[in-house]
Amino acid sequence: MNPGRRRALLIGLVALVGVAVLVTIRSEGPPSRDAATLEVEDPQEATTTTDPSASSTASGGDQPTDTAPATAMEEESAGTLAPPAEPPDEPPATTAEDTLAVDVEADLQALLDSLTTGVDTDAILRLGRSGDLRVAWVIADLMRFIHPEASGLQYAFTELTGVDLGPNPWRDATNQLIAWDTPAPPGLGAWKGGLYTLIELGWAPFFADEDSLIDWRHVTWGGVLIDDRPLDTTHLPCPRGCIPALNDPLLVPASEGDYYPDDAYVFAVTVNGESVAFPKNMMEVHEMVNITIGGRRLGIPYCTLCGSAQAYFTDVVPDSVRDRLGDAGTFELRTSGLLSRSNKMMYEFHTRSMFDTFTGQAVSGPLREAGVRLPQTTVVASRWGEWKAANPHTLIVAEDGGLGRSYPDDPLRGRDDDGPIFPIGDWDDRLPVQEKVLGVLFEVGTESIVVAFPVVDAHATLDGGGSVEHSGIVVTKDGGGLRALGPDGVDIPAHEAFWFAWSQFHPGTELWAPSVG
C-alpha cells in the first residue's frame, strides 16, 4: 500500500474531535465476517479538528483552538469519576508462556490485516474464546477505533475476562486491564505499531526501537496527529491536524500584557533572573513551547489531561548525539499525538526519540541509547495579576503569540470537568483523582525524596501565616503560585499536576498534610 493511500485510510479508520463516527460496522444479529465492513469516508469531507471554520483564528486560518481532542466515542459524558471500582477478586488465569499459541498469533495477524478491507469479526470471536487474557489488550485497543458492540469486540472482551463493560467500553476495558496489571502479549508493540501506523506513519520510529522503555499496554491515541513540521514552518498551522508547538513566541513586558485578564492563570518560568509568563489559554492550544529564557534553551510541555506544565532544559546535549541535531545544537520537543495513561507523550524532533513527559527520561530511539534525562526547572502556576505584581519585570507572550492569530478564552470548554476522559487505570486514593498537588522530587545523595503538597491546603496554610514543610522541603508563595526550596534555601524543581498523574509516575509519594489544631 502506498503512503498516500495509508494516510487517506487514517481518517477512515478513526475520527478526530467533533467528527461523526467514521469507522462504522454494519451488522445484524451476531457479528460475522460477512456482515461487517469498514466504511471509509472521503478525508476531504470528514469534519475534523483541522477544519479552520471550527476554530477562532486570525485571517489565513490556524489550528483549531476551541475543540477538545477526542473522538466521537470520547464525547460521551464522562460522568463524575468515582473512586476506582474494585475489580473481581482475581483476574482470569494468565498463561506464563512467553509465546502465543499458533492459532492465537494467526488470528491477531488476520485481524490486523483485515483492518483496511473489512474487520475480521470471526477472528475477534476466536480471540475472545482463546482463554489467553493477554490478548484482551488487543481487543481493548481496537475499541478505541471500531464500534465495540457491533464488531463483537465488547462481547469478546467480556467472554475473555468475565467483566461486563459500562457505557464507555474502551475506557472501562483499558482501566480494568491496568488495574489487574495484565501482562502484555508477546509482540504487543509490533502489533500496535501495525495498527497505529495506519493512522500516522510518523509514529513508526517509536515502534521501531525494540529495546524501548515504553510500556505499550498504556499507550493510546490522543485524537491528533504528530507535530513534525519542519523547523522553518513552525509559524504555520499543522496541515494535517496536530497540536502545534509554539517556537520562540513574541514576548512583551508586563505593561503590554493588559490584554490578559488579571484573574486568568499563567504558567511562569524564571531562569537566571529572567521571567516569562505563558497564558494558560495559549498553552491549551499549543501544549508545547520551545524558547530561550535567561540564556538557556527550554522545552515547556503542558499536558492538559493531567493538569501539568513542566519546563525542561534542552541545551544539555551529550556529545554522542550532538551530530544528530545538525545545526540546531539543542533538542526540539514536540507533541506526538500519543498518550500514556492520559499523559501526553512528547518526542524529540531531530532524533525521533520518545520521552516520558512527566519525568524527562528518553524512552526510545538514540536518546534512550544515550541515557538522556532532561533536567527540569520550576513552573509556577499563578493568576496573572498576582504574578506581575510580585514580578514586575516579567515578560508575557504577546496577545497573538507573534503568529498574527487569536486565542479563545477557554479552548477546552470544560472538557475535563467530570474527570479523566482517557484511561488512567487505578490510582492512589489518598486524594481525589483530579486534586491539584505541587509535586517535588528532591535528590539527597543516592536517596530520592518525593513529596506532594495539595495546592489548596498549602495556599490556605500559607495565607493563614503557617508554614508548609516536609522532609526538609519548604513551600513558599511566588505571586499567586507556589515554589519549593530545599534545606539550603535553593529552589528545587517543582510543578503542579493532578494527583492521579503525579502518583502514577511517582508511586509511594509522601503526602504533606496541614497540621490539625
Q: What is the DSSP letter of 463?
A: H
- Give the range among 36-40, 369-373, 497-501 with minimum mean pLDDT: 36-40
**Alpha-carbon gap, residue 164 to 173, rounded angstroms:** 9
**Alpha-carbon gap, residue 391 to 297, rounded angstroms:** 21
**Alpha-carbon gap, residue 187 to 210, rounded angstroms:** 10
Co-location of 313 and 368 in the same domain = yes
**Alpha-carbon gap, residue 413 to 426, rounded angstroms:** 26
- Report the share of the chain in percent with pLDDT over 70: 81
**Alpha-carbon gap, residue 413 to 155, rounded angstroms:** 34
Confidence at residue 91, expressed as pLDDT on a 0 to 100 scale: 74
Co-location of 384 and 475 in the same domain = no
Co-location of 267 and 311 in the same domain = yes
Co-location of 254 and 318 in the same domain = yes
Co-location of 208 and 312 in the same domain = no
Give the number of domains in the chain: 3
Contact 86, 8 (CB under 8 A): no
Confidence at residue 239, expressed as pLDDT on a 0 to 100 scale: 86
Co-location of 202 and 254 in the same domain = no
Look at residues 219, 251, 269 and tell me which one is the last residue of a structural domain: 219
Task: Say if 170 falls within a structural domain.
Answer: yes
Which three-class secondary structure state does DSSP give residue 178?
Answer: helix
Q: What pLDDT, in 10s, does the model give residues 85-139?
A: 455 656 776 665 678 999 999 999 999 999 988 999 999 999 999 999 999 999 9
CA 376 → CA 319, 359, 373, 399, 441, distances in Å?
Answer: 20, 9, 9, 27, 10
**Alpha-carbon gap, residue 373 to 389, rounded angstroms:** 35
- Identify the helix (H) or strand (E) that includes residue 83: none
Task: Say if 361 falls within a structural domain.
Answer: yes
Co-location of 300 and 191 in the same domain = no
Look at residues 219, 248, 271 and tell me which one is the last residue of a structural domain: 219
- Identify the helix (H) or strand (E) that includes residue 446: none
Task: Say if 194 falls within a structural domain.
Answer: yes
| Terminal-residue alpha carbon distance, the chain | 70
Confidence of residue 54 (pLDDT cuts 50, 70, 90): very low
Q: Judging by beta carbons within 10 Å of its beta carbon (0-12, 13-18, 19+), is residue 8 exposed, middle or buried?
A: middle
Co-location of 23 and 109 in the same domain = yes
Co-location of 313 and 196 in the same domain = no
The answer to whether the Cα torsion of 466, 468, 472, 473 is positive or negative is: negative
Task: Say if 88 falls within a structural domain.
Answer: no
Confidence at residue 12, expressed as pLDDT on a 0 to 100 scale: 47
pTM of the model: 0.84
Task: Say if 392 falls within a structural domain.
Answer: yes
Q: Within 10 A of 175 (CB to CB), how many other CB atoms are there?
A: 24
Q: What pLDDT, in 10s, does the model give residues 21-53?
A: 222 322 233 344 333 433 322 322 222 333 333
Look at residues 343, 375, 397 and tell me which one is the last residue of a structural domain: 397
pLDDT greater than 60 at residue 58: no
Task: Say if 355 falls within a structural domain.
Answer: yes
Cell of 327: 545545526
Co-location of 237 and 215 in the same domain = no
Contact 244, 290 (CB under 8 A): no
Confidence at residue 425, expressed as pLDDT on a 0 to 100 scale: 87
Task: Say if 61 falls within a structural domain.
Answer: no
Give the mean model confidence (pLDDT) for residues 247-273: 97
Co-location of 245 and 364 in the same domain = yes
Task: Say if 410 falls within a structural domain.
Answer: no
Co-location of 215 and 236 in the same domain = no
The answer to whether the Cα torsion of 58, 61, 62, 63 is positive or negative is: positive
Structural domain span for residue 504? 436-511
pLDDT greater than 90 at residue 240: no
Q: Within 10 A of 252 (CB to CB), how many other CB atoms are there?
A: 15
Closest CA to 368 of 401, 329, 320, 328: 320
pLDDT greater than 80 at residue 56: no
